[in-house]
Amino acid sequence: MTLRGLPATTPIVISYVAVLSFLILTGLLIQLLRPDIVDREMRPKDRSILRLYSQYDFIVIGGGTAGAVVASRLSEISNWTVLLLEAGGDETLLSDVPLFMPALQLSPLDWKFKTEPSATSCLGMKGRRCNWPRGKVLGGSSVLNAMLYIRGNAKDYDRWAALGNDGWSYTDVLPYFKKSEDMRIDEYVDSPYHGTGGPLTVEEFAYKSPISRAFLGAGREMGYEARDLNGEKQTGFMASHGTLRQGLRCSTAKAFLRPASRRKNLHISMHSHVQKILINQAMMRAEGVVFRKAVGGLRAVSPVYYGFYE
């Protein structure tokens, strides 16, 4: 069925125009009303390929959830040179807004991976393959995810330590969780399981649906306490913690990389897709990478090699 006198594609075109207009308007409003989201002064700058050094002490491949943290921490040593290579670009204005989380998946910020075909899952999907969102952006999947802050169960860490991984027990890793955290939920600020003043901000989600309040109320009626999701005991009823800062997404790029991005010993090369890690077979160590950097939308850039200082 079509609208009388209009081509069959007209409703589709109208819907696309409406969505695009909404996104443009939202972006403009953010720039006018929320300069904290724009954050021009702190945004990482893409370093030109012509200004990269021929060698670095450390090369971090991928500025994702972990890579942003690793690059920030390494560059704290001022006489170490650090190169961070990220296949994507910087976060967008919309990615800061929690409401836009579903729209970020399958966007240019996403690698758009799919799972392997399965006989037991994804049965309603084409080819029995589900989408597997992974961030192609500074901050990685912490820019695409639902912002839930969940450390995992203490017994998992203790099991890793029991298998021979020294330093990975829950007692060992808890001080590092606390060091990186800036807990802003009042009732947990003085908890022995949380820290304040760290780079990663943790808050509760500003909006609480009626069903979530009913869910917690039902738990209390059954005799369960409302517990700390990342506290001593994790079984029960509880409100979610989020990697949020003043109600906005707090990715690892915002938390760790932006404050470090002005360090002279840290170079960030965006749109730089690593193709190969070069291994010194005699010494059995990685000593360089080959990557391609997209410049001005062009991707046909010759491979470039960068090695470590000996």
Counted residue by residue, the chain has a size of 310
Distance CA(210)–CA(91), nearest Å, equals: 32
Stretch among 13-22, 25-34, 113-122, 271-280 having the lowest mean pLDDT: 13-22
> Is 125 or 2 the better-scoring residue by pLDDT?
125
- Domain shared by 96 and 181, yes or no: no
Whether residue 2 has pLDDT greater than 60: no
At residue 160, the 3 state secondary structure works out as: helix
**Nearest Cα residue to 88 out of 149, 23, 142:** 142
- Domain shared by 188 and 237, yes or no: yes
State which residues form the domain around 1.
Answer: 1-33
Structure tokens, 226? 């409302």
**Alpha-carbon dihedral of residues 49, 51, 57, 61, nearest 10 degrees?**
-30
Domain CATH code at residue 165:
1.10.1220.110
> Percent of the chain scored above 90 by pLDDT?
66
Whether residue 140 has pLDDT greater than 70: yes
**Nearest Cα residue to 100 out of 58, 136, 50, 144:** 144
- Domain shared by 21 and 74, yes or no: no
DSSP string over 169-225:
SHHHHHHHHHHHEEE--GGGTT-TT--SSSSEEEEE-S---HHHHHHHHHHHHTTPP
- Domain shared by 51 and 131, yes or no: yes
User: What would the pLDDT profile of 47-90 be if each residue is shown by its tens digit?
Assistant: 998 999 989 999 999 999 999 999 999 999 999 999 999 999 99
Q: Mean pLDDT, the chain, as a whole number?
A: 87
User: What would the pLDDT profile of 174-218 be if each residue is shown by its tens digit?
Assistant: 999 999 999 999 999 999 999 999 999 999 998 888 898 899 999
Whether residue 13 has pLDDT greater than 60: no
Q: Structural domain tally of the chain?
A: 3
pLDDT at 287: 87
Question: Mean of the pLDDT values across residues 111-128?
Answer: 94
Instruction: Give this prediction's pTM.
Output: 0.84
Alpha helices in the chain (DSSP H): 10-33, 35-38, 67-74, 101-104, 154-162, 170-180, 210-221, 252, 258-260
Q: Which residues of 287-306 are buried (b: 16+ CB within 10 A; e: fewer)?
A: bbbebbbeeeeeeeeeebeb
Query: Which of 189, 223, 242 is the last residue in one of the domains?
Result: 242
